[in-house]
Amino acid sequence: MKLEIGNFQVQKVEFGKTSSYKDGTLTINKEEALAVVFEDEHITDADLVLTKPGDDVRIVPVKEAIEPRFRLNGGPAFPGVTGKIERVGEGKAVALKNCSVLAVGKHWGSFGDGLIDMSGEGAKYTIFSKLINICLVADTDEEFERREQQKKNHAIRWAAHRLAEYLGSIVKDMTPESTETFELGPITKRDEKVKSLPSVVYVMQPQSQMEELGYNDLVYGWDTNRMLPTFMHPNEILDGAIISGSFMPCSSKWSTYDFQNCPTIKGLYNEHGKTINFLGVIMSNLNVALEQKERAGMFVQQIASSLGADAAILAEEGYGNPDADFIECFRVLEEAGIKTVGMTNECTGRDGQSQPLVTLDESADAIVSCGNVSALIELPPMGTVIGELDALKRDGLSGGWEDDEKLGPSVKEDGSIIMENNSMFCGDSVLGQSVKTMREF
């Protein structure tokens, strides 16, 4: 399968009469864009707010990030979500780079939502401070979850995905400034030279813990909780087959943007044919019951072995009980003789002294560690807040709190904040961008 993504490097975004793109400037007709949002009557209030790196802006609660894309065969950018299901990962698509659509609650946050500071000390905690963010700030009539800590955030997230597709369509007829090509042929038909290289699978464990539908990552619109591990072509992940969910404590979250730009997949592509034979992606999940974890591990082991994988990179979207899936897969892959490197973040507590993963095994001897969900972060107030700052302390975000005997509330009177890294939007970048590691002190 061959996928060509035509890239447009967005330098500036502004509102204007006609949605268009020229020489790095993306112009958005706000009414047209919002019309796409309001296609869902459950959206009661919506606005688009623009912000760019360096702005004195704080954004919270952020529920999702998506890169604007359009598929040139006219099919949906996110099959099963923005349109009917069809296979992705092949043909041509266009992408608006250096920017993302953010789904932001006008008022209401939830456990898995996060925060982004576009400048200052807080900017380093998330890659999204380096992008131009087109913020969809919205409210909905989803009363059933208004006061719940766990929210599906369905209306806002689906609207943001539609919006990302609308924005991508702006450049659909234009010649891309550059093109990225991703090509990986059928495994048994590759040439001898490639076949002689060590073969590698990328095992992904997206979050799927909630038993009720509507919260977990989706593959072609299907809930990952209702899946057994399967084999996917890496292009599918880059081209919209999988979207993020609405549960995972935010620094561990893999947003749709992260999937679309998955650095580990791109990194393995770079090595393909040179140092490795990149077989493809084993898409597993992170179900909660022990038997389900063991069953998933069995499938991962069998698929990897049957493909003849020599090695694997394994990544988990989460901490806590997902560590059990991570260690289980690590263990069974190594048991099958498949040399594995794991990518994860840790939860060592604010004092740094807690055990990094909830379960351990000697076989997990090669791990790249991307950050500490528990790190305590204090930040000054920012000039403007997109969304609602109080959500951080009031709505049960994983890294914020109403009150604490020693630290007080997460949001102070003057707008300064104290929080855990846990709620930094996609802060630990376990899919590969993280420039953080963990160190012994």
Partner 1 sequence: MVKEIEKAGITIVQMANLIPVAKTVGANRMVPTISIPYPLGDPQTSKEEQWKLRYHRVGVALDALATEVEEQTVFEV
Partner 2 sequence: MKKGILYLNQFFGQIGGEDKADYAPTIQEGQVGAGMLLSNLLEDAEITHTLICGDNFMGSNEEEAVEKLLGFLEDKEFDIFFAGPAFQAGRYGNACGVICKAVKEKFDVPVISSMHKENPGVDMFKKDVFIFKGGDSAAKMKDDMTKMAEFGNKLLKGEKSEGAEAEGYYHRGIRHQVWLEDETPAVVRAIDMLLKKINDEPFTSELPIPELETVPVAPAIALENAKIALVTSGGIVPVDNPDHIQSASATRWGRYSIADMDKLDNRANGAFKTIHAGYDPAAADADPNVCVPLDALRAYEKEGKIGSIHEYFYTTVGTGTTEAEAARMAQEMIEHLKADEVDAVILTST
Interface contacts to partner 1, rule CB under 8 A? 211, 288-290, 321, 323-324, 327-328, 355, 358-361
* SS3 assignment, position 162: helix
Give the nearer residue to partner 2 in terms of CB position, either 160 or 237: 237
324 contact, one of partner 1, partner 2, none, CB 5-8 Å limit per kind: partner 1
By the 10 Å C-beta count (0-12 exposed, 13-18 middle, 19+ buried), 221 is classed as: middle
Phi-psi region of 38 (alpha: psi -120 to 50; beta: other; left: phi over 0): alpha
Q: Least distance to partner 1 from the beta carbon of 290, Å?
A: 5
Minimum distance of partner 2 from residue 425's CB (angstroms):
16
The partner in contact with residue 420, picked from partner 2, partner 1, none with C-beta cut-offs of 5 to 8 angstroms by kind, is: partner 2
Pairwise CA distance, residues 282 & 205, whole Å: 9
CA distances from 368 to 285, 343, 344 (A): 20, 5, 7
Say whether the peptide bond before residue 76 is cis (omega within 30 degrees of 0): no
Other C-beta atoms within 10 Å of 80: how many? Answer: 18
Q: Which is nearer to partner 2, 335 or 402 (CB)?
A: 402
Q: Are 346 and 319 in contact (CB under 8 A)?
A: yes
Contact predicate 63/156, CB 8 Å: yes
CB of 303 vs partner 2, minimal distance in Å: 18
Which of partner 2, partner 1, none lies near 403, with the C-beta cut-off 5 to 8 A by kind? partner 2
Please, which residue, 20 or 354, has the CB nearer to partner 1? 354
What's the closest the beta carbon of residue 426 comes to partner 1, in angstroms? 24
Both tokens of 407, joined, read 């630290």
Shortest distance in whole angstroms from residue 48 CB to partner 2: 31
Of 249 and 387, nearer to partner 2 (C-beta) is: 249
Backbone angles phi, psi at 228, to 5 degrees: -110, 155
**Looking at beta carbons only, is 23 or 441 nearer to partner 2?**
441
Pick what 143 binds: partner 1, partner 2, none; C-beta below 5 to 8 Å, kind-dependent.
Answer: none
CB of 152 to partner 2, least distance (A): 12
The nearest distance, CB 144 to partner 2, in angstroms, is: 13
Select 94 or 364, whichever has its Cβ closest to partner 1: 364
Nearer to partner 1, 49 or 228 (CB): 228
- Antiparallel, parallel or unpaired: β 242-243 and 218-219: antiparallel
In the complex, minimum distance from the CB of residue 60 to partner 1, in angstroms, rounded to a whole number? 28
Dihedral sign from CA coordinates of 386, 388, 390, 396: negative
Q: Among partner 1, partner 2, none, what does residue 436 contact (CB within 5–8 Å per kind)? A: partner 2
Contact of residue 372 among partner 1, partner 2, none (CB under 5-8 Å per partner type) = partner 2
The answer for residues whose C-beta is within 8 angstroms of residue 329's C-beta and 6 or more apart is 203, 205, 284, 296, 297, 300, 301, 314
If the CB atoms of residues 76 and 318 are measured against partner 2, the closer one turns out to be 318
> What is the nearest approach in angstroms of partner 1 to the Cβ of residue 352?
18
Query: Which of partner 2, partner 1, none has residue 242 at its interface (CB below 5 to 8 Å by kind)?
Result: none
Sign of the CA dihedral with 395 first, then 396, 399, and 405 last: positive
Minimum separation from the CB atom of position 324 to partner 1 (A): 5
338 binds, among partner 2, partner 1, none (CB under 5 to 8 A by kind): none
Q: What are 404's two structure tokens?
A: 């604490």
DSSP string, 348-377: --TTS-S-SSSS--TT---EEEEEETT-EE
Residues 6 or more apart whose Cβ sits within 8 Å of residue 282: 201, 202, 203, 204, 229, 230, 231, 232, 300, 303, 304, 312
| Euclidean distance between CA atoms 78 and 86, whole angstroms | 9
Residue 402 binding result from partner 2, partner 1, none, given CB thresholds of 5 to 8 Å by partner type: partner 2
Nearer to partner 2, 60 or 364 (CB): 364
Nearer to partner 1, 323 or 334 (CB): 323
Residue 289 partner contact from partner 2, partner 1, none using kind-dependent CB cut-offs of 5 to 8 Å: partner 1
Query: Are the C-beta atoms of residues 282 and 187 closer than 8 Å to each other?
Result: no
Q: What tokens does 168 get?
A: 């991508």
- 356: number of Cβ within 10 Å: 18
Encoded tokens for 421: 């890294």
